[in-house]
Amino acid sequence: MPVAPSHPATFSLPNTDPDSATRSTDTDASHARLSAARLGYLPDPFAPLFVTRPAGVSNRPGIINVGTWLRTRSVDELVEQFVARTAGEGEAQVQVQVQVLSVGAGSDTRFWRLATGPLKDKIARYVEVDFPEITASKARSIYKHRELKDVLGECTLGGGGTSLHSAVYTLLPVDLRQPPSTALAALTTPAPAPPGSGARAPLLSRTLPTLVLAECVLPYMPPQAGEALLAWAAGAFGGAGVGVGVVLYEMFGLGDAFGGVMRENLAARGIRIPGTLPSLAALQSRFTSAGYARSSALTLQDIRTHYVPPSETERVAQLELIDEWEELDLVLRHYCVAWASRGLEGEGGLGWGLQKAGGAAGE
């Protein structure tokens, strides 16, 4: 006969929020970034500041650390190329400020790394958008840590703590599954102002080169919503002579056995990925359909093999012992970095792209 418990049973109600599982992937990403930084894969002094109780977070497996390193260095290279762009030729070259829109930004630290680096004066505006629960958490972290808040200068909270505004950086709550003409209207539409003072300028200008970042975002969205977001960015910022660039990082090609396991593992956590595409060619075709003139896409395995200097590969190989090389290869073949541009073609697309080790930009 079972022994009766010495205390009343406790019950927890099921989580009825369908988006909570998707939001939890940002915790995965922040812990992976912290692990990679802590072990020396990449420099990121801001990574611990967006993690709750970082001392209690264990290091991730080597496979995840390598993937985080490749993802971060690849996206960083594309971002820094875009931000460092100039206009004109020869002695007539002039520096050009740019603006960045990071969608589904989560706990990303890139703004702080740029704003404390040599390219800080090239950033005219930097806007991050995500679920309100995510932006509220990020705003709290910014206000909690002086190292983050001091970079912003004077800033104000809004939206019940879900938005944050400063001279350069803005954080906004947005549901990206809604039509971008509505969900992102505040970015390109003049804001109302008190009577007699005139409308306030939009958060983002149509006259500055614009870079859109979406890291592990579109796979979680319905395909039509992801396509609409890309098309909106091309139309809003892709004017000739100004132009727009897009950088994506996402999983793809999940139709094989390994991809099926990935889907099952995510589904077990309640995570759906309706927006994944079957191939790199499909990613480039999506860019073309959305109005972009140039695009490229590479798997993380291609990047690791051909686009990382041997000295860097050797440095990383010394950080920790990895036995699961076959599994690592499979993982890296199912994740990619893709980039596209519109309105920048007069300058050869900036010669913009990941550079082969000792060679030209990737195609």
Binding-site positions for S-adenosyl-L-methionine read 71, 104, 175-176, 215
Query: Residue 321: left if φ>0, alpha if ψ -120 to 50, beta else—which one?
Result: beta
Cα angle 248, 212, 331; round to 5: 15
For residue 245, what are the β-bridge partners? 211, 341
SS3 333: helix
**Binding-site positions:** 71, 104, 175-176, 215
CA–CA gap between residue 278 and residue 84 (Å, rounded): 33
The DSSP code for 266 is H
Tokens standing for residue 259: 């991809």
Tokens standing for residue 214: 């979406």
CA–CA gap between residue 34 and residue 289 (Å, rounded): 37
CA–CA gap between residue 239 and residue 241 (Å, rounded): 6
Q: How many C-beta neighbours within 10 Å does residue 259 have?
A: 18
Scored b (16 or more CB within 10 A) or e, 41-63 reads bbebebbbbbbeeeeebeebbbb
CA–CA gap between residue 70 and residue 41 (Å, rounded): 9
The phi and psi torsions of 142 (rounded to 5 degrees) equal -65, -45
Q: Are strands 98-103 and 163-166 parallel, antiparallel or unpaired?
A: unpaired
Contact 265, 271 (CB under 8 A): no
Residues near 144 by beta carbon (within 8 Å), at least 6 away in sequence: none
The secondary structure element, H or E, covering residue 231 is helix 223-237
Strand ranges of the sheet holding 335-342, from the earlier edge strand across to the other edge: 155-158, 163-166, 169-173, 123-130, 98-103, 210-215, 244-251, 335-342, 294-299
Tallying the residues shown for the chain, one arrives at 363
